[in-house]
Amino acid sequence: MFDNLSDKLDRAVKNLKGEGRISEINVATTVKEIRKALLDADVNFKIAKQITNEIREEALGSNVLTAVSPGQMFTKIVSDKLTDLMGGEMTPFRPTGTPAVVLIAGLQGSGKTTFTGKLGLRLKKQGKQVLLVACDVYRPAAIDQLETLGEQTGVEVYTERENKNPVEIAQNAIAHAKKTGKSMVIVDTAGRLAVDEQMMKEIEAVKQTIEPSETLFVVDSMTGQDAVNTAKTFNERLNFDGVVLTKLDGDTRGGAALSIRRVVEKPIKFISLGEKLENTLEEFHPDRMAQRILGMGDVVTLVEKA
């Protein structure tokens, strides 16, 4: 089980109170607990350090030390800080153009194809004429996978089984979309590592050719410390517009989300919560994610009781 941060903060807060006097040392201990919780939640090492330094400054700078309930105030500082770091407000997904083109990119197995299916279904339900495009020419049965999702959702899928050139396929798909009056085109691509130069060039070329109005970077919420490297490189190469966090139906804390947000400063636009296509795609709420990362759901209540 995860060590619950709320327990630890609770203890630390009790210490703060018990001693009757609150010193920099108490704050330092509490801040250390927060840092460990962030690292346990997979927030990047350097970023966890920065964040905890900032929290320390804020705690010492504010009148937390003289407050009637320092624990409560401390908790609020942490909670506000993380929410703020997660992006404060929700950023809507509003692709433009006729057709509006959305490009999906990310590492292998992150959930791109599944997300493509889900987004297609959501947009179709909003009354859009949607076309999904199968540009993964590498993974065995990748095209079949997208076609199956298209069948399940009743959304058209564009494929060129003999063509091994994703740039051409994407281009032809857009032409097809125009001809058939589609309002939305979602382009699924092969998984790729940020260090795979050839594959990164390929997706850059796809992007240049189809000029998407939204490029979304899909990330597995269980990702560890490497999330920052990957997000940074994908962002440098694609200047993506938003992030999709997948597999949040698991029990991961999802600290990678915080790291990515901090490193690339792009909004998280969707969260994916399941393998099924129906009702598993949600908008992102920064405050909820902040609570999840620190396991703070019950911190507030604990502190209130204290």
Ligand X SMILES: Nc1nc2c(ncn2[C@@H]2O[C@H](COP(=O)(O)OP(=O)(O)OP(=O)(O)O)[C@@H](O)[C@H]2O)c(=O)[nH]1
Look at residue 84 and give the partner it binds from Mg ion, ligand X, another protein, none, a contact being a CB closer than 5 to 8 Å depending on partner kind: none
The answer to whether the CB of 254 falls within 8 A of the CB of 289 is yes
Binding range to Mg ion, per CB under 5 A, among 106-114, 127-135, 201-209, 281-289: 106-114
Distance between CA atoms of residues 289 and 301, nearest Å: 18
116 binds Mg ion (CB under 5 A): no
Look at residue 215 and give the partner it binds from another protein, Mg ion, ligand X, none, a contact being a CB closer than 5 to 8 Å depending on partner kind: none
Quick one: which of 25, 63, 89, 139 contacts another protein (CB under 8 A)? 139
Select 112 or 253, whichever has its Cβ closest to Mg ion: 112
147 binds another protein (CB under 8 A): yes
110 binds ligand X (CB under 6 A): yes
Locus of tokens 């994407």: 170
Select 67 or 141, whichever has its Cβ closest to Mg ion: 141
End-to-end CA distance of the chain: 24
Burial class (CB in 10 A: 0-12, 13-18, 19+), 50: middle
Locus of tokens 């010193």: 23
The answer to whether the CB of 146 falls within 8 A of the CB of 113 is yes
Which of 185, 191, 220, 213 lies closest to 203 in space, CA to CA? 191
Q: What binding mask, one character per residue, do residues 128-147 give for ligand X by CB under 6 A, x or -?
A: --------x--x--x-----
Q: How far is CA 65 from CA 8, 77, 112, 128, 299, in A?
A: 19, 13, 47, 55, 19
Look at residue 222 and give the partner it binds from another protein, ligand X, Mg ion, none, a contact being a CB closer than 5 to 8 Å depending on partner kind: another protein
175 binds another protein (CB under 8 A): no
Distance between CA atoms of residues 3 and 12, nearest Å: 14
Q: Which residues bind another protein (CB under 8 A)?
A: 36, 39-42, 44-45, 107-111, 113, 117, 138-142, 144-149, 152, 193-195, 220, 222-227, 229-230, 232-233, 247, 249-253, 255-256, 275
